[in-house]
A and B are shown apart, each in its own frame.
Chain A
Amino acid sequence: MSTLTGTRHLVRLILRRDRVLLPLWVLVLAVLPVSYAKSFFALFSTAAERAAYASGTARNPSIVALLGPVYGESVGALTAQRGGFLLVIVALASLLTVIRHTRTEEEAGRRELLGGTVLGRHAGLTAALLVTYAADLLLGLVTAVGLLGTGLPAAGSLAYGLGTALVGVVFATVGGLAAQLTETAGGARGIGIAVLGAAFGLRLVGDTARNDWPSWLSPLGWAPRLRAYEGERWWVLALPLAVTVLLAAAAYRISVRRDLGAGLLPPRLGPATAGPALSGPFGLAWRLHRGQLLWWSVGFGLLGLILGGAAEAAGKSVEGNPQLEQIMARLGGASGLAEAYLGATLSLAGLAAAGYGIQAALRMRAEETGGLAEPVLATGVHRTGWLLSHLLFALLGPVLVLAVTGFTTGLTYGLSVRNVPGELPRLVGAGLAQVPAAWVLAGFAVLLYGLLPRLASMAWAVLAVCVLLGQLGAVLELSQWLLDLSPFTHTPQVLRDQWPATPLWALSALALLLAAAGLTAFRRRDLPTT
């Protein structure tokens, strides 16, 4: 197999380069489900308590939309559902790992350096896939053993572990295919994340609808449908395996046909002279950010259309369940439930918008380490102006993304309840209420960039902590001071409550303060700091 020559060396290279990151995400993602199981055992010692939780929380449509369906009232079943959001994170980690070791390498030219040595045509792709598959399987195995250790049945633990691992395997292969399509790692990541978003959207729609066929089209829907701990359906494992084989075959087929460095789509020529807009740092920043901004807005706009359309159905789905109806009546009836659902989805959009803000702020770090900041700052461009040009996108990007999400959510929800003029502005407002918290994270990224540039990517870890606090805080019964660390805890529920302006002003002021401190530090430090 000459096309695979050197795979072994590349595997070792990847393991060497990822010796910290890879074990970290494998371990964290494997330990979390175990901690869920432990806390369920501790919280609900009787079947009656579990039944109350299942009907009151686990079957709540907004929880189902976020985490997936629950198939029983055993601790195992509750744990399997609780781990539903982890599937998205496993998928994302696998996807990004493969792209990082394939297209990123090729784009940077490091692959060429190795290509000169004895290396088969498929060695790069194969090594990246092998390492990620192995990491996913290890993750599944550690999870299964950990769950078994908490006293859960063996078969269910294995099913849950394998289901999770195969989500990772499918999306690792999606990454491998995306890396063949575009010339840039950014483009490949965009394709991969779009596929993941579509998979999440399908699963969400299927799980909240009366008929769940859309979930069967989504790799994220298969893992719960293994029904771990509730009469395992092992044949479901065949679905991710078959899709993996198909995707991998496509990736290898393209990899054979294309040149090193090239994508499937040929590059186009650009203009010979710069247009009048491209004459300073802001014009440059617009060119660098506009593509991402467009795709984020389109993606979230589409997600808003789906979520807004599903909200009313989610509100109605409790009909016929007297216990739930009773709980919902306290929340304000079916409309109250729909609003809780809309509120939850918009707060997720807020976290994602914070992701955009962080990404836009960290673009500066990429420019700096890529040698692109230096030639600009060696011209008449002031450091402040350069930083502000990127900060503008880190701050206005989340506003745009959230306004679009609120708009499309309000549009389809308004149509379904026949009140577009009333719902549209209300939901745009609710979307925008998430902006200040997203700004705080973007501001924190700027602070890190200015003060501790080598640690700038820790801003992503802060976002991950906010996601975990938001998603798990209630389940793990974390103390309030811990929850208060996340800016999103302070975002008011504007759909239910009045508009309390104070927390929004306070968060905005904090964000500006962080960004200003970052700017001050940036003006004083050496460039580039590598």
Chain B
Amino acid sequence: METPIEVSGLVKTFGRTRALDGLDLSVRAGEVHGFLGPNGSGKSTTIRVLLGLLRADAGAVRLLGGDPWRDAVALHRRLAYVPGDVTLWPNLSGGEVIDLLGRMRGGLDPKRRAELLESFELDPRKKGRAYSKGNRQKVGLVAALASDVELLILDEPTSGLDPLMEGVFQQWVGRAKADGRTVLLSSHILAEVEALCDRVTIIRNGRTVETGTLGELRHLHRTSIDAELTGPLDGLATLPGVHDLRVDGNRVRFDVDTVALDAALRRLTEIGVRSLVSQPPTLEELFLRHYETTDEVVA
């Protein structure tokens, strides 16, 4: 089976700004793939290249086995896209927009459309200008999820939705996956990513920094150690892979890279351990580490 999305070494510049700088992204058929990165890291630019709206400057991009720029129209009939900020025509009703977008994609399932309207509690008769931000988002989601397509490209689709609707969204993505569709989900909501995504790709400054399952990513990161020692503390600070060492009498707390964990523990047991608590990195820490260190590359 073909890989729905295969991007390697993608470069896109706007004037002097290098928005994408050798980005890699691989989404396998039938998976929900999380696409993460801080604001301005290039997620939406990548998606626009995938949609054939922007032309890549360099790199290889394959979408559903085709070239997203050259074969745009044929490929678009097989996918549905929800932008992060759905805007609607002020004089068209929500129902009209849903049908219009569905028909331009090649038709939508009327039964699923009705079900989606009900579960998202959306009134399709309101005019575009009358919807709130969250409801505009729902119009985009209903139009996409009611379409019979192989691939869903969702760019922060739940911004503005309340927690209840967030739950409804997760159910429907689950159903799409069960129907065998592939989903590329760009998101900032960690619970959403944790609940839905099989694999994730984290990008920063237009470049891929991590990709893999959540389990794999955790493995690549630091473990927090909190230990009470019996002997004098020495030689720990100089060990490679040890960070944020804090000493409080006999008590030490530090973070250690997973690869250096073995050496650090050996050193601790040499000194003598009275008690020890170790914690794997939380998803949040994992993201924050990537999100907050943007400066070092920009300079």
Cβ of B89 and Cβ of A288 under 8 Å apart? yes
> Taking CB as reference atom, which chain A residue is nearest B79?
A378
- 1/0 per residue, CB under 8 A from A, across B44-65: the answer is 0000100101110000000000
Residue of A107, A270, A283, A377 touching B125 (CB-CB under 8 A): A270
- 1/0 per residue, CB under 8 A from B, across A257-297: the answer is 00000000001111111110011110110011001000000
| Chain A nearest CB, measured from B119 CB (Å) | 16
Cβ of B100 and Cβ of A283 under 8 Å apart? yes
| Chain A nearest CB, measured from B101 CB (Å) | 6
Cβ of A375 and Cβ of B140 under 8 Å apart? yes
Q: Counting CB contacts under 8 A, is B160 at the interface?
A: no
Residues of A within 8 A of B (CB-CB), count: 38
Cβ of B73 and Cβ of A274 under 8 Å apart? no
Q: Counting CB contacts under 8 A, is B96 at the interface?
A: yes
| Chain B nearest CB, measured from A192 CB (Å) | 18
| Chain B nearest CB, measured from A363 CB (Å) | 11
Q: Counting CB contacts under 8 A, is A381 at the interface?
A: yes
A-B contacts at CB below 8 angstroms, number: 115
Q: Counting CB contacts under 8 A, is B76 at the interface?
A: yes
| Chain A nearest CB, measured from B68 CB (Å) | 11
Cβ of B91 and Cβ of A280 under 8 Å apart? no
- 1/0 per residue, CB under 8 A from A, across B72-98: the answer is 111011010101011111111101111
| Chain B nearest CB, measured from A387 CB (Å) | 14
Q: How far, in angstroms, from A184 to B89 measured CA to CA in the complex?
A: 11
Q: Which residues of A contact B105 (CB under 8 A)?
A: 379-380
Cβ of B96 and Cβ of A269 under 8 Å apart? no
Q: Which of A366-421 contact B (CB under 8 A)?
A: 370-372, 374-383
Q: Which residues of B contact A268 (CB under 8 A)?
A: 127
Q: Counting CB contacts under 8 A, is A527 at the interface?
A: yes
Q: Counting CB contacts under 8 A, is B126 at the interface?
A: yes
Q: How far, in angstroms, from A528 to B97 measured CA to CA in the complex?
A: 20
Cβ of B99 and Cβ of A380 under 8 Å apart? no
- 1/0 per residue, CB under 8 A from B, across A338-372: the answer is 00000000000000000000000000000000111
Q: Which residues of A contact B100 (CB under 8 A)?
A: 274, 278-279, 283-284
Q: Which residues of B contact A379 (CB under 8 A)?
A: 76-77, 101, 104-105
Q: How far, in angstroms, from A377 to B96 measured CA to CA in the complex?
A: 17
Residue of B73, B81, B98, B126 touching A381 (CB-CB under 8 A): B73
Q: Counting CB contacts under 8 A, is B175 at the interface?
A: no
> Taking CB as reference atom, which chain A residue is nearest B153?
A378
Cβ of B127 and Cβ of A374 under 8 Å apart? no
Q: How far, in angstroms, from A281 to B129 measured CA to CA in the complex?
A: 20
| Chain A nearest CB, measured from B43 CB (Å) | 15
> Taking CB as reference atom, which chain B residue is nearest A526?
B54
Cβ of A372 and Cβ of B89 under 8 Å apart? yes
Q: How far, in angstroms, from A278 to B74 measured CA to CA in the complex?
A: 21
Q: How far, in angstroms, from A370 to B86 measured CA to CA in the complex?
A: 10
Cβ of B87 and Cβ of A280 under 8 Å apart? no
Residue of B81, B85, B103 touching A279 (CB-CB under 8 A): B103
Q: Which residues of B contact A267 (CB under 8 A)?
A: 127, 129-130
Cβ of A274 and Cβ of B103 under 8 Å apart? yes
Residue of B53, B76, B98 touching A527 (CB-CB under 8 A): B53
Q: How far, in angstroms, from A381 to B104 measured CA to CA in the complex?
A: 6
Q: Counting CB contacts under 8 A, is B106 at the interface?
A: yes
Cβ of A183 and Cβ of B129 under 8 Å apart? yes
Q: How far, in angstroms, from A528 to B95 measured CA to CA in the complex?
A: 26
Cβ of B106 and Cβ of A380 under 8 Å apart? yes
Q: Which residues of A contact B79 (CB under 8 A)?
A: 378
- A-B CB contact pairs (8 Å), 5 listed: A107-B90, A270-B92, A272-B124, A374-B53, A524-B55
Add 10 more A-B contacts to A107-B90, A272-B124, A273-B95 (CB < 8 A): A183-B129, A267-B130, A272-B125, A273-B99, A274-B103, A371-B83, A374-B51, A374-B53, A380-B77, A380-B106
